Structure 1
Amino acid sequence: MQSLALIENWPVPTAAAAVVRADGTVLGAHGPLGQRFALASVTKPLAAYALLVAYEEGAVELDGPAGPDGSTVRHLLAHTSGLAFDEHRVTAAPGERRLYSNAGFEVLGDHVAKATDIPFAEYLRQAVLEPLGMTATTLDGSPAKDGVSTVDDLVRFAAEVQAPRLLDPRTVAEAMTVQYPGTKGVLPGYGHQNPNDWGLGFEIRDAKSPHWTGTSSSPGTFGHFGQSGTFLWIDPAAGVACVALTDRAFGPWAIEAWTPFTDAVLAELV
């Protein structure tokens, strides 16, 4: 795909990207696909997927208590627990606002570890990484932001999310459904949005503007971006997912570059 070569124009030391279908067919790839990059918050979808495995195994309940008083696993996954961004401090009642929270995902990691008696990083490896052959992906630290991976590995994950084998497709469909519809909040880097829609660990595009995906991305597009200059989106209407990893922190350069890049990728698929 010629559109993927646009990453060569990004003002970053290194970038790699790929587009993959649900059956695992890689339609195009560019850059060092086996190079390991810090994922930052693109770690969250991996962590959420592991938690959903724990849910299907009966170790945790989505509507069971976790985090602040009145909060549930579902609240934490959907960033509506009331926890602050990077502090274990309550700033709102559960379900009241969409408060993007790294602390919430750390609570989730601890919750799964306690329920399974397995450290979360090891549970992630056993539940998701190993079955998908993601041998270059590791988590050493926070389940909110400390994952390290490659484009090659994330292509495997993106194919799994599109055509689930590790989870019941109904569970994945629930994860991609807006939780607590109409909730307003802030999308980091893009400002206040009403509504600020999220599923279970995945952000849902809907009609958000501005946004880090494309202007031509379908409303059902979901995924995540990371402050390390990384993103993963899945566009069900287009039938593809795209992974892009860089080694430059998210900033104005990414806001300027990512949207036209995604529009070019989608245009090439038509």
Structure 2
Amino acid sequence: MTADPAPSAAHDDELLSATRRALLRRVAVGQAEGRTPSLVGAVVRDGRLVWTGSRSMIERHAPDADTQYRIGSITKTFVAVLVMRLRDEGLLELTDPLARHLPGTTAGEVTVGQLLAHTSGLASETPGPWWERTPGELRPELADVLGAEPGKHPAGRRYHYSNPGYALLGALVEKVRGMPWGAALRAEVLEPLGLTRTTLLQQSPAAVGFAVHPWADVMRPEAVQETGRMAPAGQLWSTAADLARWAAFLAMGHEDVLGAETVAHMREPAAPPEATDPDGGYGLGVQLLRRDGRTLAGHTGSMPGFLAALWVSVEDGVGALALANCTSGPAVSAIAADLLAITADAEPGFPAAWRPAEQLDSGLLDLAGPWYWGTSAFLLRVRASGELYVAPMNGQGRGSRFHVEHDGTWTGREGYYAGETLRAVRREDGSVSHVDLGSFVFTREPYDPEAPVPGGFPGWH
């Protein structure tokens, strides 16, 4: 994916007619079975909005990709990006206690990273009346959001979703930037990405939120509350067209907002899944889901009268979203995931064309080929990017990509070797003696007697 989708009906032609029909049918089934006044779906492929569709209770009055819906907790992904910008600018670290930058709260010992990943141990909701359904004026200060004893679990021990935790992150952004978090969001994220229809308050055309009776086909409008201090947890309104751009950004980043490497870091698991939800997980402001063999990243959201979901599959280069204007009913998370799967399965993308390296350090060629860890055979491949890939030849066991560092070593990107250092140890004449990977000695032949294999090896018999 790239980060510049161009929402246009003309791009519908890029999908086969059978795919478009299957997508529209999924939206239609979701609207009918979920008993929602309206439902909008959209698909992003390779960074562009390639399909939108909708169904409504009013014939010939279905919403389009420019109709605003409240997106609830998808707001948290935006707040997380603001925090990661502060991290990338060197203004804070994820390991910093909150009190270092935002003193005076009852949660000062929890770290910025724990707040992002919902491992702070803070309560899920605010004390007092339900914040989503009451005016923000009832909670004018952070103390009103947290209460005297906000902790429910020891910090860092488990995943426990916390809406007040994101109120703290919004206040953190305000403190460090010296401006309201909404103003920082507009200047640093929304304007650079062209998200002109993503706002704190609804702007016409916008859907009206409804509560649909669970046992009768009747409904009533839901009140819209401005949530004040809790706004960073779920205040935003957006459109399918804007969220298509956001999906592309969450897949690949944008040079004017956050680089691809930082966004990829946000998508990495930072909190373990709960035992009751083994296919779930959470990164840094990004919800994770394992579904039908795919790893999805994004977020779901809900506010009175609205449901929303957005998922991207980086491996497939596809993202999808679903927006509904009812308090409960349609399974928008599943609908968005299904729209993604329909597209990716019916029209799988093409891999990037193989190209040789334009320029490659000749010393890297000394590392390519087979290596042995004891008697286990490994293959080290050198990519055109200068990355290394090490994996067992028999396809079983630990493998990882390694990216190059400034000091000429490489750092593992995933699995057992994530974060571990790989370095080539050379002889005085410059030839490679062996490869050291986190103290493991890899040699050109099993137990090479000329290499410093720990414990020594007397020879083969």
- Normalised by the shorter chain, which TM-score bucket? 0.7 to 0.9
1:27-57 Cα distance to aligned partner (Å, 9 max, x none): 2111310000000111111111122122222
Which amino acid in structure 2 is aligned with residue 225 of structure 1?
T
Q: What does residue 39 of structure 2 align with?
A: 15
Structure showing greater radius of gyration is 2
- More displaced 10-residue stretch of structure 1: 106-115 or 58-67: 58-67
1:81-137 Cα distance to aligned partner (Å, 9 max, x none): 011111221101111111111110000000110011011011111111011111111
1:185-227 Cα distance to aligned partner (Å, 9 max, x none): 38xxxxx235852100011114xxxxxxxx43513x1111112
Q: Tell me, in whole angstroms, the C-alpha distance in 2 between the residues paired with 1:216 and 1:269.
A: 17
Do the aligned partners of 2:279 and 2:289 also contact (CA within 8 Å) in 1?
Answer: no
Shift of 1:229: 1.6
Counterpart pick for 1:178 among 244, 260, 269:
269
Which amino acid in structure 1 is aligned with residue 281 of structure 2?
D
More strand by share: 2
Q: Tell me, in whole angstroms, the C-alpha distance in 1 between the residues paired with 2:334 and 2:45.
A: 26
> What are the equivalent positions in structure 2 for 1:254-265 lying under 5 Å apart?
254=332, 257=335, 260-265=338-343
- Structure 2 length normalisation: TM-score? 0.51
Q: Tell me, in whole angstroms, the C-alpha distance in 1 between the residues paired with 2:277 and 2:236.
A: 27
Q: What does residue 321 of structure 2 align with?
A: 243
Which amino acid in structure 2 is aligned with residue 26 of structure 1?
L
Structure 2 residue 21 is the aligned partner of structure 1 residue 2: yes
Q: What does residue 101 of structure 1 align with?
A: 162
> What are the equivalent positions in structure 2 for 1:60-209 lying under 5 Å apart?
60-66=92-98, 68-87=107-126, 88=146, 89-140=150-201, 141=228, 142-165=231-254, 166-180=257-271, 183-185=272-274, 192-194=276-278, 196-206=280-290
Which amino acid in structure 1 is aligned with residue 124 of structure 2?
F
Q: What does residue 300 of structure 2 align with?
A: 225
Secondary structure of residue in 2 paired with 1:167: coil
**Counterparts in 2 of 1:252 and 1:106: CA distance versus 1, 3 Å:** same
1:231-263 Cα distance to aligned partner (Å, 9 max, x none): 010111211111211112244654775555554
**Counterparts in 2 of 1:222 and 1:30: CA distance versus 1, 3 Å:** same
Q: Tell me, in whole angstroms, the C-alpha distance in 2 between the residues paired with 1:172 and 1:253.
A: 27
**Counterparts in 2 of 1:252 and 1:35: CA distance versus 1, 3 Å:** closer
Q: Tell me, in whole angstroms, the C-alpha distance in 2 between the residues paired with 1:199 and 1:108.
A: 15
Which amino acid in structure 2 is aligned with residue 15 of structure 1?
L
Which amino acid in structure 1 is aligned with residue 234 of structure 2?
K
Shift of 1:69: 4.5
Structure 2 residue 292 is the aligned partner of structure 1 residue 216: yes
- More displaced 10-residue stretch of structure 1: 105-114 or 42-51: 42-51
Show structure 1 runs of 5+ residues with no match.
187-191, 207-214
Q: Tell me, in whole angstroms, the C-alpha distance in 2 between the residues paired with 1:195 and 1:2.
A: 29
Q: Tell me, in whole angstroms, the C-alpha distance in 1 between the residues paired with 2:93 and 2:113.
A: 9
**Counterparts in 2 of 1:151 and 1:255: CA distance versus 1, 3 Å:** closer
**Counterparts in 2 of 1:251 and 1:104: CA distance versus 1, 3 Å:** farther
Which amino acid in structure 2 is aligned with residue 120 of structure 1?
W
